[in-house]
Structure 1
Amino acid sequence: MSTEVTKHNDQTATHFWRADITGLRALAVIPVILYHAFPMLAPGGYVGVDIFFVISGFLISGIIFRQLKSRGNVCYGDFYAKRIRRILPNLLILFLVVVAFGWFVLLPREYESVARSVTASAFFYQNFSLLKRLGDYFAPAVAQSPLMHLWSLAIEEQFYLIFPLLCWGVWKISRSPRILFAVICGGTLLSLIACLMVSDKTFDFYFPLTRFWELGAGIILSFCVEFYGLKSSQIPLAVRNTTSVIGFGLILFSVAALGHGTVFPGWATLLPIAGSLLFIYSGHDALINRFLSLKPFVFIGLISYSLYLWHWPILSYLHIVILEPTTWQLAAALLVAFLLSVLIYVGVENPVRRMTKGIWGKASVAVLVILLLGFYGLGKLIRAMDGLPDRQVPIVQMFGAAGEDWAGRAGMKGISLGGVEVWATPQENRQILFIGDSHTQQYAPRAQALAEKTNVGSVFFTVPGCLTVPGVPGEITRARTEECGNFAKNLEKVLAAHKFRKVVFSGKFGGYAFQTAVSIENGQKRLLGPEFLAQGVKALRDLVERVSPETEFVVILDSAWLDRGAAKFGITNRLDLSDIKPGFEVQPDQLWLRGNETVRKALEGKATFIDGSAYLCPQGLCGFDWLIDTDHLRASYVRDRAVWLDPVFEDLK
């Protein structure tokens, strides 16, 4: 059994390959795949990505350190050429398949979102893009983002770009291993402290500086091996057998014991990081290391990059196409991902990686970079064309207009009231203030139409994803802590700066009271609950009455929405549109109804209520034709048919 191989790639650097570390890659990728497909089998399977970070830090920094020792600098051309030939061939094929398959099954807004991910992934800033757009990695919505998983590749590439330059700069100035080691240790420690201190865990998850310490742990071990001669062979085998078992145990414990409720990254992340370090340092001949050096583990480790790339888009598209995939369908998806990974590894990855000499070596790098730029341009083009709503495919022809029909702020203009930025209709006679979340913003098209008809203008002060009442203890569904927490204070400024005849309040009440997790100061999560919702809307009503006593307080009860992440417009299979549901029935325990009832009871006698359910759900059947997604109304439907909003304007014209 081959456990350690030395390959002389050039005269200045030696690249080491260890079968056990390759086997550790298998131990990293398998839990990730299980977590994505069957989370109950590996509730902490996401720690596999952290193991990959340690491995990458150890191996990549080893290459750089050996070059610094042997030649005093870093051979950037060779280093980046190898990274390009290693990473891009598989990634480019992935882009091609994801974009091509999305052509047939994605609605325009979804296709535009995938195109955005292609551009972000092509230039390796997907982590920043997700931080801005998607938010929580553990949220259900990520299942319908086929390239979401490339956030980790982006962080690694950012490391590949910056770390060699950092090492070269420090070495050029000092020529001192001690100073370089101090810089690396200092950066790793500061990154760990930042990770543990940052309260916004979505930011913590995607931001490279709060993730660097995981790579830094592997870098420190590599530095000690390369510069300080910290060889595992110096330690008795019995001791290394013990550390190997402990490291393996820490990794398995992390996979089995951690879960959605764990603050991650955080203190718990130290478990898989420490386990990976102990395993690597134990050496190729330690007990568990020998086990993971067996051919099946080594083979999975060799295809781990390919397997990581392909498993998630296949699972994601399965969840997009089919409403509720069965266990067998999920298992079949993983089998397809495995076979495809093997095929691409053997047929594409390895041949391209071997193109290192002569004209073919340079040409391969140039072609790969040109193709990458081409996909970046393709993603930009799809986005510029709004997700190609005119595609001649059944799903787009049947539902494309609905899928693209979001209200936005078209036709409105930004103004400042009391130093607070708000959006308003062009009419100067602004007598109505709309406040709330995206469920309030969705009424903008009707408000604009009524403003033109009645000459009664309106102002919209909304924060998507936030329950806009006093005292919300953090962000609701997105990283909007500051906006949510400051809403009541800013609302007071807006009310004091302009005299409104009516304040109209709406929101996804049932989501905040019965469904949505809220991040609070200690990083944990809980539900707001119906009691907080009731207290919050009372406090909001009191705030409006105190600042503007003559203003009428109007509540638009929330429109019907699906409690579960059902397929859009009742489609259970996007490849078979022959059996589309006409709508969904109103059930007494649905969250939107329970939220409305909570608000109605809390404000009984203190507000005017408007209920559009008679129009949206006649005879208890809510049509899918007015939905843009599971809980928002289409702009064209609101503009043309949301007549329940009309009384707000009619008595002011």
Structure 2
Amino acid sequence: MLITTESRSEAGLPTRGPAPASHRPGSFRGDIEGLRAVAVLLVLLGHAGVPRLAGGFVGVDVFFVISGFLITGLLLKEHDRRGRISLTGFYARRAKRLLPAAATVLLATLALTWLLLPRTRWSATAWDVVASAGYAMNWRMAAESLDYATVGQAPSILQHFWSLAVEEQFYLLWPLVMILLGWIARHRRRRRDGLLLLGLAAIALPSFGWALATAPTDPSAYYVTTTRLWELAVGAAVAVAAGRSSRVPRAVAAVLAWAGLVAIGASAALVDTASGFPGYAALGPTLGAAAVVGLGSVAGRAGPALLLGQLPLRAVGAISYSLYLWHWPLLVAAGAYLGDLAVGPALAVVGASFLPAVLTYRYVENPLRRSPALTRRPLAALRLGVACTVGAALSGLLFQLLAVPGTPGTVPSAIPVQAPAGPAASAPVPSWGAAALGSSPRDSPAGIPVDRVDSIFPDPLRVGEDVPAAYQRCIVDQATVTARRCVFGDPAGRTTVALVGDSHAYHWLPALDPAAKRNHWRIVLYAKATCPFVEATVIFAGRPYETCTRWNASVRAALRGPDRPDLLLTSDAGYLVVENGRTASSTMALSPKLRQTWRGMVDAGVPVVVLRDGPYHERNIAECVAENRKRLTRCASPRSRLDSGGGPAQKKAAEGLAGVHLIDLTDAICPADRCAPVIGGVLVYSDNNHVSATYMATMEPRLEAALRPLVPAR
């Protein structure tokens, strides 16, 4: 049994007697090095798409526990040895250990972006570099997870920096909390470790509670620091209690430590994005890792150290940081250059990432970490870290300024229908956008794909700025559950038309808004990202989209209230739906749910008009056009893809339903046997499934002609 004693440090702070060397956190342990290897390999294999390893991302949770354990252990060890904690020394060690390698990968990522990524991604990557250098990438990812414009977009080449940002924020916070609690312990004559455990509980419990409350419904919960602190706090608590671990019988410790390792593996195999992470599902890898690091030294060779202490795993664990840094940029760059990677090629890329990881470990990490000069002069190490951070951030800004095309002027609030203002006005086309198709789009030569056009508007490199800001702020994020509306068209119009649905309803607004102004219709928009207007629970990001269900209930109440519209206009993308507690296998299962929803609105006295969803393309059209300006036919998709998206389910749902009409303008979007990426000098799609705002604006006359007979006169 370990007997703890109270002694006075030179600073007068109560401290515990030192734990035995075998249990002391902060001492090197081969089993923890091996656990690092397990964690990073789970992440790598999961990112490579290895079957039955959808939960490979739990390796990040293991890293959080290890980090909390080791950092706290090192700080406790320093205090036990010196009687104080040096913030300068701590941050200097973190700076020389982490920042040079991170800066190296950030600079290399800019080079990969220049060489291999479509130019449409350059600007986002530049800002990702800035956010990653400042260790704020998790908050950037959280914000983008709530932005409808990023749904379905290619993943960031630096999105893996989110977990490093969480750890760095913990490193900034926790030493300060430890010093504060130590000061309280000294002045109140309390046991240091007891106060530390109370402090960790005060961090972990609200954090875990917040994770439970938000993870099932809020995509940003995966990234934010507030839902992740509890995992680091668990590791820190294990370090604080490490001296007491020797009280556990070795056989019991071995069983629990092995169970912890099994829990990590089982979580990787069984957990997926539908599990509401990081809620209850995160307990498996987190507590499993805590058992391994907390009891592994007690169990000795009878525990997981027998496996984790093997040289190959320890070797991978040693380079795990550099390996984590390198693997994702290489996977994304290879995918951008070669197309979607199957498991085999992805594993080859992961294997190739070992080379730069080893080189970074040998020539960047180790020389700086072991530098006698930097060890003796912590301020010099801090200056090095600042230089790496500032240098990487400035590189991202310079890339944005020099490599990314200049930012255009403010997008006009009313998108031109006949011709663009600016360089594209010189395009030698008989009419602008969909107007070039004339009255018979299927017979028009303007709809046939060609290799070259004289000009394209909007510029595919800036297509994200094509939608006026007045429209953008009126589609709510995934977390919102209470109906919120925006009014367009003629606000004083006597006829009210409600436009309801997801972004595939919302993207009709550039055509509907000016038509409504001219006809004195009042347009009331209720739009929620990735949320179709349906009385059912749909699947988003692999799990039931409960906030969508609640949003739709709120919208239905609004539509049947005092502000009941004269007409409901709706559209949506294709979705899987929950039926009898299970996810349906086809988006066509949404059809009877749509029919039920529309019938309910008709029964409430509101006629329904459905705007048929357009075809989806196999690739991002803006990216393809940006890279193939002289071979645009490479970006043309077969018209047979009309059966993709929400169109088929909508068509079936509307058949023979009184009070419901379907408007199908697909011929004006894809008039030929292959869908042209550019029609009448206008980029048709902004990604692979959303019609660009400018092209949609040129659809105004067609939409108005189809809609006017269906809008009740008042």
The answer to whether the superposition gives a TM-score over 0.5 is yes
Moved more, 116-125 or 370-379: 370-379
Q: Which residue of 2 aligns with 1:422?
A: 486
Q: State the Cα RMSD in Å.
A: 4.3
Q: Which residue of 1 aligns with 2:690?
A: 632
Distance between the aligned counterparts of 1:595 and 1:123, measured in 2?
46
- Alignment check: 8 A CA contact 1:557 1:612 kept: yes
Q: Which residue of 2 aligns with 1:154?
A: 165
SS at match of 1:503: strand
Shift of residue 342, structure 1, vs aligned partner: 0.8
- Find the partner of 1:555 among 601, 606, 610: 610
Q: 1:254 to 1:364 in 2, by over 3 A?
A: same
Distance between the aligned counterparts of 1:338 and 1:575, measured in 2?
33
Q: Which residue of 2 aligns with 1:644?
A: 702
Moved more, 52-61 or 109-118: 109-118
Q: 1:464 to 1:527 in 2, by over 3 A?
A: farther
Shift of residue 311, structure 1, vs aligned partner: 0.5
The unaligned stretches of length 5 or more in structure 2 are: 1-10, 19-24, 409-451, 475-481, 679-683
Moved more, 87-96 or 603-612: 603-612
- Alignment check: 8 A CA contact 1:105 1:575 kept: no
Q: Which residue of 2 aligns with 1:368?
A: 385
- Aligned partner letter, 1:632: H
Shift of residue 98, structure 1, vs aligned partner: 2.2
For this pair of structures, how many residues does the alignment match?
A: 618
Distance between the aligned counterparts of 2:396 and 2:562, measured in 1?
44
- Alignment check: 8 A CA contact 2:461 2:626 kept: no
Q: Which residue of 2 aligns with 1:181?
A: 197
Superimposed CA distance per residue, residues 368-415 of structure 1 (whole angstroms, 9 cap, x where no aligned partner): 324423544565677799953689xx9xx9998235335534466989
Distance between the aligned counterparts of 2:274 and 2:543, measured in 1?
17
Q: Which residue of 2 aligns with 1:32?
A: 43
Q: Which residue of 2 aligns with 1:51?
A: 62
Distance between the aligned counterparts of 2:543 and 2:252, measured in 1?
47
SS at match of 1:148: coil
Superimposed CA distance per residue, residues 554-596 of structure 1 (whole angstroms, 9 cap, x where no aligned partner): 221111114xx64546959969986825322315853434222
- Alignment check: 8 A CA contact 2:31 2:308 kept: yes
User: Are 1:468 and 2:481 an aligned pair?
Assistant: no
Q: 1:516 to 1:324 in 2, by over 3 A?
A: farther
Q: Which residue of 1 aligns with 2:462?
A: 404
Q: Which residue of 1 aligns with 2:181?
A: 170
Q: 1:194 to 1:498 in 2, by over 3 A?
A: closer
Superimposed CA distance per residue, residues 183-240 of structure 1 (whole angstroms, 9 cap, x where no aligned partner): 3245434544544455436354323333233222222221122xx45448x854x665
Q: Which residue of 1 aligns with 2:510?
A: 445
Superimposed CA distance per residue, residues 241-289 of structure 1 (whole angstroms, 9 cap, x where no aligned partner): 5555444333333334444554433444333334323332222842441
* Percent of residue pairs bearing the same amino acid type: 25
Shift of residue 635, structure 1, vs aligned partner: 1.7
Shift of residue 491, structure 1, vs aligned partner: 5.9
- Find the partner of 1:209 among 226, 231, 247: 226
Q: 1:610 to 1:632 in 2, by over 3 A?
A: same
The 5 A counterparts of 1:9-408 are 15-40=26-51, 42-107=53-118, 110-134=121-145, 141=152, 144-175=155-186, 176-177=191-192, 178-196=194-212, 198=214, 199-200=216-217, 202-225=219-242, 228-231=243-246, 235-236=249-250, 241-260=254-273, 262-280=275-293, 281-283=295-297, 285-287=300-302, 288-355=304-371, 357=373, 361-376=378-393, 379=396, 388=405, 401-402=459-460, 404-406=462-464, 407-408=466-467
Moved more, 213-222 or 107-116: 107-116
- Alignment check: 8 A CA contact 2:235 2:290 kept: yes
Distance between the aligned counterparts of 2:75 and 2:258, measured in 1?
30
SS at match of 2:634: coil
Shift of residue 28, structure 1, vs aligned partner: 1.1
Q: 1:62 to 1:517 in 2, by over 3 A?
A: farther
SS at match of 2:459: helix
- Alignment check: 8 A CA contact 2:55 2:272 kept: yes
- Alignment check: 8 A CA contact 2:197 2:240 kept: yes
Shift of residue 645, structure 1, vs aligned partner: 1.0
The unaligned stretches of length 5 or more in structure 1 are: 1-10
- Aligned partner letter, 1:286: R
Q: 1:559 to 1:588 in 2, by over 3 A?
A: closer
- Find the partner of 2:659 among 597, 601, 606: 606
- Alignment check: 8 A CA contact 1:85 1:365 kept: yes
Q: Which residue of 2 aligns with 1:8?
A: none
Superimposed CA distance per residue, residues 298-326 of structure 1 (whole angstroms, 9 cap, x where no aligned partner): 22111101101111111122222332324
- Aligned partner letter, 1:212: L
Shift of residue 343, structure 1, vs aligned partner: 0.9
Q: Which residue of 2 aligns with 1:582?
A: 636
Shift of residue 480, structure 1, vs aligned partner: 8.0
Distance between the aligned counterparts of 1:309 and 1:405, measured in 2?
30
Moved more, 50-59 or 174-183: 174-183
Distance between the aligned counterparts of 1:646 and 1:93, measured in 2?
55
State the TM-score, normalized to the length of structure 2: 0.74
